[in-house]
Amino acid sequence: AEHSGHRLGFYVSLAAMEQARKEGFSRMVLRTDDFRIPAIKTYIRLGFVPCIVHENHISRWQEILKKINREDPAALLPSVYDGTTTHDI
pLDDT band at 87; cut points 50, 70, 90: low
Q: Is residue 2 part of a domain?
A: no
Q: What's the number of domains the chain is made of?
A: 1
Amino acid of residue 4: S
Please say if the pLDDT value at position 74 is more than 90: no
Q: Is residue 41 part of a domain?
A: yes
Q: Is residue 3 part of a domain?
A: no
Span 9-61, pLDDT tens digits? 899 999 999 999 999 999 888 888 989 999 999 999 998 888 888 888 888 88
Distance CA 42, CA 82 (A): 23
Q: Is residue 73 part of a domain?
A: yes
Q: Is residue 62 part of a domain?
A: yes
Supply the pTM of this predicted model.
0.71
Q: Is residue 20 part of a domain?
A: yes
Q: Which domain holds residue 17?
A: 8-88
Q: Is residue 1 part of a domain?
A: no
Handedness of CA 45, 46, 47, 52 (dihedral sign): negative
